[in-house]
Each structure stands twice: as C-alpha cells, then as structure tokens.
Amino acid sequence: MKNLFLSVLAFCGLFMWTATLRSQPVSDSAVRCEGEQVASEGAWCWFADPRALHYENEAGTINSSYLGYIDVHGAVKAVQYDFLRKRRTEVLVRSYFQPDDHNNPTFLVLPDERIMIFYSRHTDEPCFYYRISQRPGDIATLGEEHKILVKDNTTYPSPFILSEDPEHIYLCWRGINWHPTIARLTLPDTDDCVQIDWGPYQMVQSSGARPYAKYCSNGKDYIMLAYTTGHPDNESPNWLYFSKVNIKTLQLEDVKGRVLSTIMDGPFRVNRTEQFAMEFPDVVADQTAGMRDWVWQLDVNKNGWPVMAMVKISADKTVHDYYSLNWNGREWNDFFLAHGGGHFHQSPDIEHCYSGGLAMDISVPGTYYCSVSVTGEQGRRYEIVKYEVDEEFHTVRKTYITQNSRKNNVRPYVLPSSVGSPLRLVWMNGDYYDWIVSSSRPGYPTSIHGDFRWTEEVKSAESDLLAFEWPETDRVIAGGERCEIKVPHDVQHADFTLFLSVSKPVGGVLCAGSEWSWGIDSLQMRPVLTFGDEVQYGNNILGSSDSWSRYGRGTNGLWYAPEPYSHFTVALVREGRTLTTFINGMVDQWTDGDFRLERLLLGGSGSNIDGYALYGRALTPAEIAVLISQCR
C-alpha cells in the first residue's frame, strides 16, 4: 500500500508537467484552445468589481494576483497566485452562502498592504461581509468575518481608496431603492472593524426601477459611475448615463464638472426624455433609439477621460452588439466592435439580455476582449476574441483567444494593474442555466479560465513520509477508535503535514499533538483549532448550500439549512511557526505557534478517518490537491 501511495506522489510531478501542455498556441482551426483552468468551480456577475486584481509593491516583497468567485455550492472563494514564492493557493472565504453568482467577492488593497475582501447576498440582506488578510498581500491569512450593517439591501460592492483621502474607504453598491448608493468608511481599527462615517446615500433616482451601475476612479479625487435607466429586460429604450463623485465636495458632477447635486441632500433625478437630454447633454452618454443599453466596464484613459465597454441590445432582445463609448473632451462617441450574438446561456425563457460580455484593456488603448458566438467543431460556442482598434476606430486585427471550445467562454475580465504580470485575462468557461441555484435550474456550473500556464515545482516526498495508512476499502480508524502515531525525535519540532480523509463527521477532536488539537464543534459544525488555552473557531461550517436546489428560485432572504459534508479532507500544515488548515484543498484557518509533534493522536471523535498520511515537511497546495484526487 505504501508503494501505491508513493506512486501517487510521483504522479505529482507528472500532473504539474502535463498542465503546461494543455493550451499551446494554435495555428490550425481544428485545434482546440480553451485557455488554462484557474479554478475548477466558480462564476461571477459583471457588476461587483474588482473581482480580481494584481498587486506588486515597490519594496519587491509582494507580487501576487487575486481572483474571487462563487460556486454552485454557495462557497465564496478566492485564489492567490504568489509569483515570488511560485505558489498557487485557493482560499475558502465563506462556505454555505447564498448560491448566486451576484455574490462574487471584490478586493481592496489597504494602505498597510493587507487585502480586504467584500461580499454580500443578492438584494435580500441589509449588510456587507468582509474579511482582511492579517499579513500584507497574503489572503491565506484571512482574519475573522465582520459585518457592515446598513438599513437597505446590498448587492455589487465596489470599494475604493483615493490618494486625496487615504484615511477612508469609499464603498459603492446597488442599495437604497435598488439604486446606486455610496458610503464612506473608516479604515479598519486594531480589531479590523470599520464604521460608516458618511452615508449611505442614494446618488441618483431613475425613472426605471433598477439602474445598473459600473464604477471606477481616477485614483485621486473622483469616483465615476456609468448607469442605465434600469434593467434592459424591463426598459426599452434603456439609456446610458455618466456622472462622477467629487470626494472633496461630496457632490455629484457631470463629465465636464458641472455640479448636479450635493449627495447628502438627495439623489439626482434622471429620465429618458428629450427634455432631460437637452438639459443635461453631458450626463446622457448614449440614447440610441430602440436599443436596450447595458454597461460592462467603465475606466479612465491616459487623458483622464472616461471610456466604457457596453452592449446595445435590440428591442426584441435577439441581437447583442458590442460597442466602445468614449468621451473626447467635448462629446461622447461610440464605435462598433463586434456582433455578440444573443443571450449565451441554456435557459431560453429567462434573462434574454445576458450577453457573453466584453472587457477592455485600458493599459493598451484600443484593445478589447469580446465573447462572441462562433461556429466551430463543437457547433455554436461563445469564444473569446481579441479586437485591436486604431485611433480612427477601425478594427485592424482580430485574434481568437479561444476556439473550438467544448463549452462557452463568457464574461471576460482584465486584471487591473496587471501589466507585466503573467496573468492578465480571465473568463468563465462552461454551462450556464441561471444566476441562482434552485429546484428549477442548477445555476452556473462553470469554471474560471485564464490566459497563462501556471507551473509549480513539486519535490519528491518519498523520504518525507513518516506514517501512512491508505486502504482501498476498509476504514483505517472507525468512529470512536483512537490511534497513536510515534513521531521520530528529529522531526518533533520541525515542519510537518498531516493529511486526513474523514467521513461521517461528527463533533469532537480528530487529531491532537503537543498542546494543540483540531476537531469539529458539534453544534455549529465548524472546525475548532486549539493551541494551549487558545480556541479558534473556523469561519466556515463543514457544509454547503446544496439544499438550495430543493427550493424555488428567488431572493427571499432565507437561509436554508446547510447540507453537511458526508466526507471531506483536512490537511494541517506547519511551515515555520504558522499552522494552516486546508479543507478540501482550500485554506480555512491559520494561526501562529509552536505546534510540536512529540506525540500524535488520531481519532476518538466518532468520525471515521478513512486514510491518513504524515510528512516531515510542509506540502504545497498543489501536492495536497493531488492527495485529494486519490480520495475520490
């Protein structure tokens, strides 16, 4: 049996090597090119941003990319690519959340270089959640979950810190009356708590029920917003507007700086009448007759002028065309990019305005990535196509990023601040049935793909294996039994990895070392890590939101009962003075301390331990992932 397990570890090297061969550049239309998988399960909507970003500091101690997503099991996740340590780490930000792709997390780099992650339910809960990394640039060290309580619903958090006010966080979202909303927050205190010290305030009031807004900033003193009359399914025509928030005066202005309102005095009112367009010509960015506009991206070009990526949808919702919309200092100009097809998903009776989507690379003027309907070897699929446009707005080059894909490629996104980084473009790949999991549809069983090939060195672990039991059928340690592992003296104070495969989990301690233990709280079904007198409860329960699939579709504010895991894996990894726990391959808890192994006790909780392995070094997340694959 040990030889079998060692062959698994040898397979690690083969696994990582073959991963570099999957998406070689294609020169033949018959060759399949789907990009590289970034995450096996995950999705996002396109209104909560930044859903991913890259950050490098001047000191050279941080060089990482971060991507956030939510899967159909209601797990809010993030992946970190640390290019200095050459390590990919997936983090479980929150298990058992509302399984809805509107709930993808967004990121903010704080002045102390820690990473703050925001997330919220879709429209039916008056609060935001957030967690903050406890070490600069490292989301594998997330702190406890906190809430920001408000009076109205929350969706699509978009956070900013600007150089003219570095002591505050500005948070924009869809909130009061389902309209664009803003609040100013204090920076986290010593307990990582933030307070709202201005707002929340509704910024605009539309004649439509639900304006959809995209936000960006100039990094200095303005937050800009592009927003629609309402939802394009309900509004025809659906106009597109632009305004900006002056954080010095806390007023709303048009693109030329004309004051529209003082935000705290009440929202600025917009509508789609000719009289409004004549009175506020620099607020109305697009009013194409008969078209249902929707905005996909807003950014600022090198002149400081706003640029938008948008889709114009026909009145009957069957034709989706992609455009770029630019302010030239005097007026708004649009130019056509590509035909986007119709709605991309597999449910014909809902969301006819869901385009495949587009993104622009603001660092390379005239560069756009569009999800377009293409006929290939697999039939009609949505592929990611790069369009390069010259200064006269003529398309000069079209390059297929994906082709002959087995599944659709949609909702592309260019990572902010990623110039010079290996990972620049990401998108969703897979089937899509609905934005929420319900009894009528399975939601969004997609994965996240990207434009680069990740490679990671995997060392041989044969000489580091200290104890192992991995049966093919019989359980190793049945519920209630206890097993003591003798640990060699020379590794009792060194790095280690303990890997457990657990079934029928119940409360109690599953493993214990010298003055520390790890187990499950029986009431909350949360992991419990103890060290000396300190007790640390995990942020995430050992369960999913799969029960949502038994209920009707909708955002009703309920928390359906969690679906407990029938089986899971846990890896406890000591590296230096830090112990990190991985649940099903994702970082769950971490703490510092002298986690020694003079003795190691397994079992005794009532849970079954179906297999275990102890190593005399810290395994990487990639090696842990391969071990997990052998448990299925």
According to the 3-state scheme, what is the secondary structure of 518-576? EEEECCCCEEEEEECCEEEECCCCCEECHHHHHCCCCCCCCCCCCEECCEEEEEEEEEC
Cis peptide upstream of residue 442 (ω within 30 degrees of 0): no
Give pLDDT, residue 472. Answer: 64
Residue 273 above 50 pLDDT?
Answer: yes
Give pLDDT, residue 479. Answer: 85
CATH T-level topology, domain 36-450: Methylamine Dehydrogenase; Chain H (2.130.10)
Q: Which residue has the tokens 């005066």?
A: 249
Q: Among the listed ranges 178-182, 415-419, 470-474, which one has the minimum average pLDDT value?
A: 470-474
632 pLDDT band (50/70/90 cuts)? low
204 pLDDT band (50/70/90 cuts)? very high
Give pLDDT, residue 116. Answer: 99
**Sheet strands (E) in 229-286:** 240-246, 251-253, 259-262, 268-270, 284-286
Q: Which residue has the tokens 């990094």?
A: 219
391 pLDDT band (50/70/90 cuts)? confident
Give pLDDT, residue 56. Answer: 98
392 pLDDT band (50/70/90 cuts)? confident
What is the C-alpha separation between 84 and 63, in angstroms, rounded? Answer: 6
Length of the chain: 632
Q: What percent of the chain is modeled with pLDDT above 90?
A: 87
Q: Which residues pair with 397 in a beta bridge?
A: 388
Average pLDDT, stretch 215-241?
98
In the chain, CATH 2.60.120.560 sits at 2-18+457-629
In the chain, CATH 2.130.10.10 sits at 36-450
7 pLDDT band (50/70/90 cuts)? very low
- Output the six-digit token pair for 544: 């999913």
Give pLDDT, residue 21. Answer: 28
What is the C-alpha separation between 197 and 614, in angstroms, rounded? Answer: 50
- DSSP letter assigned to residue 462: G
627 pLDDT band (50/70/90 cuts)? confident
CB-CB contact of 310 with 228 (8 Å): no
What CATH number is given for 2-18+457-629 in this structure? Answer: 2.60.120.560
Cis peptide upstream of residue 50 (ω within 30 degrees of 0): yes
CB-CB contact of 225 with 211 (8 Å): no
- DSSP letter assigned to residue 10: H
What is the C-alpha separation between 590 and 582, in angstroms, rounded? Answer: 9
Give pLDDT, residue 15. Answer: 38
Neighbours of 205 (CB within 10 A): 18
CB-CB contact of 114 with 132 (8 Å): yes
Shortest CA distance to 323 belongs to which of 353, 364, 293? 293
Give pLDDT, residue 27. Answer: 41
Rg (CA), the chain: 25
